């Protein structure tokens, strides 16, 4: 577990409420004239791992991986503790003046860079791990039986579309689709979904499941994720095989990959299950503190709000610890049939909602499928997203006596499809 007390020689990393203190060091990638470079975040800067790898400052076994355009090569090594330990040494206030002088040329202000995708994502699986979200949505469609009989026995998921995963800030084009009554056109029920996703490290060989006791070690880090959804298209297509075109048009991820090691002080047990619920089967059973005390927030700005310089309207606040199924359980279940996960695969939580009002993770829940419009700060109303709306996801771990570990932001603005 990282020591919560050390500080960095970089002053911006020690300021109150800094998302990127010495204890975080999230990975990212950014564009350069010669192509994308891997980096880590610290304070108000990023440290270029690509250029730094051409020195002797980094562990020799990780230098080639730090020169790759994506994190996948580093992920193949598992969770490279030597690299993280060395970067912590180089950026700590106890670093030698000689090392500090060598590090400074490789730092760049975050405000001056353009982020790139940090991972070449081979596969994307989206789960349905929030009991509160599943119950809220189930009540809208099946008031007498919100949860289907299998929900509390197995993690429910579907295989998403990796090719349409985009980086935070990428405009989201309102999709066309087939809707009930034999019509085809732009979705009128565009929604966001507040999610967190985990990147896989080493993965497993085909035919060899990952035991629940080992699943944690196959998690490399986490990121914020918005799984945009066209609810009217979804309601027409989802039976009998689940979501398809209502989800595959775009999924937004944050540029940061927060290592699991940075989250260690915030690990907690999953929310206790009611005694009436079935116990997980042995292959999913674990007493380890597998949840994360991660605060999550959703904000919305409209074109009118931005024109009037109004602050974003907060839509909801939730916590990752309220999931019914943990990420280690998702890994164990995903591979239980022998399915092989690859380095860089992305496993998303599904929409995260809490047990109280104000903790719903989608407009579908907040507006009761559009029946109860939401009133924003400037008097505008919303049932679903309109053109020009920007959705902002934020996440952070914070506890007294410990540093704030931020996941940054995940942003996307809805745009109209342009004529060819």
Tokens representing residue 147 in the block: 């949860």
* SS3 per residue for 32-69: ECCEEEEEEEECCEEEEHHHHCCCCCCCHHHHHHHCCC
Residue 321: what are its φ and ψ, rounded to 5°?
A: -65, -15
**For residue 24, how far is the Cα from the chain centroid?**
15
Q: What long-range pairs does 78-82 form, CB within 8 A, spacing at least 24? A: 78/201, 78/202, 78/217, 79/201, 79/217, 79/220, 79/259, 79/260, 79/261, 81/261
- Residue 199 near residue 221 (C-beta atoms within 8 A): yes
- Indicate the burial class of 187 (C-beta count within 10 angstroms; 0-12, 13-18, 19 or more): buried
Residue of 64, 28, 327 lying closest to 200 (CA atoms): 327
- Which one from 37, 106, 132, 133 is the annotated catalytic residue? 133
Q: Which residue has the tokens 């991972």?
A: 119
- Residue 38 near residue 27 (C-beta atoms within 8 A): yes
Q: What is the Cα–Cα distance from 52 to 42, expressed in whole angstroms? A: 15
Q: What is the Cα–Cα distance from 335 to 125, expressed in whole angstroms? A: 12
How many angstroms separate the Cα of 348 from the Cα of each of 15, 104, 354?
A: 31, 36, 17
Whether 37 sits among the annotated catalytic residues: the reply is no
Q: What is the Cα–Cα distance from 37 to 60, expressed in whole angstroms? A: 18
- Residue 116 near residue 31 (C-beta atoms within 8 A): yes
Coil vs helix vs strand at 28: strand
Residue of 324, 321, 319 lying closest to 394 (CA atoms): 319
Coil vs helix vs strand at 221: strand
Residues identified as active-site = 133
């Amino acid at each position: 577990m990282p020591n919560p007390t050390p500080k960095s020689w970089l002053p911006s990393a020690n300021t109150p409420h800094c998302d990127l203190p010495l204890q975080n060091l999230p990975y990212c990638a950014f564009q350069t004239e010669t192509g994308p470079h891997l980096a880590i975040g610290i304070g108000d800067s990023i440290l270029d791992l690509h250029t730094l790898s051409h020195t002797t400052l980094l562990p020799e076994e990780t230098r080639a991986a730090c020169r790759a355009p994506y994190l996948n090569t580093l992920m193949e090594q598992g969770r490279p503790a030597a690299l993280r330990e060395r970067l912590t040494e180089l950026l700590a206030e106890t670093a030698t003046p000689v090392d500090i002088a060598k590090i400074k040329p490789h730092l760049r202000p975050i405000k001056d860079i353009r982020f790139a995708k940090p991972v070449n994502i081979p596969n994307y699986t989206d789960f349905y791990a929030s009991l509160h979200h599943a119950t809220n949505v189930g009540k809208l469609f099946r008031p007498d039986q919100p949860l289907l009989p299998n929900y509390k026995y197995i993690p429910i998921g579907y295989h998403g579309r990796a090719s349409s995963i985009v980086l935070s800030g990428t405009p989201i084009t309102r999709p066309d689709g087939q809707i009930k009554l034999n019509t085809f056109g732009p979705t009128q029920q565009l929604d966001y979904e507040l999610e967190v996703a985990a990147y896989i490290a080493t993965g497993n060989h085909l035919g060899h499941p990952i035991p629940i006791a080992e699943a944690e070690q196959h998690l490399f880090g986490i990121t914020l994720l918005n799984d945009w959804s066209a609810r009217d298209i979804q309601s027409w297509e989802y039976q009998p095989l689940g979501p398809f075109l209502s989800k595959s048009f775009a999924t937004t991820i944050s540029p940061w990959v927060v290592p699991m090691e940075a989250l260690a002080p915030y690990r907690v047990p999953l929310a206790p299950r009611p005694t009436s619920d079935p116990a997980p089967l042995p292959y999913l059973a674990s007493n380890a503190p597998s949840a994360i005390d991660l605060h999550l927030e959703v904000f919305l700005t409209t074109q009118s709000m931005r024109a009037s310089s109004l602050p974003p309207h907060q839509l909801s606040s939730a916590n990752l610890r309220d999931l019914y199924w943990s990420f280690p359980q998702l890994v164990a279940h995903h591979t239980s049939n022998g399915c092989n996960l690859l380095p860089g695969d992305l496993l998303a939580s599904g929409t995260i909602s809490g047990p109280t009002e104000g903790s719903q993770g989608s407009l579908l829940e907040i507006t009761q499928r559009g029946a109860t419009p939401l009133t924003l700060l400037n008097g505008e109303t919303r049932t679903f997203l309109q053109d020009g709306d920007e959705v902002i996801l934020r996440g952070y771990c914070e506890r007294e006596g410990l540093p704030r570990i931020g996941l940054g932001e995940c942003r996307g603005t809805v745009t109209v499809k342009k004529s060819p």
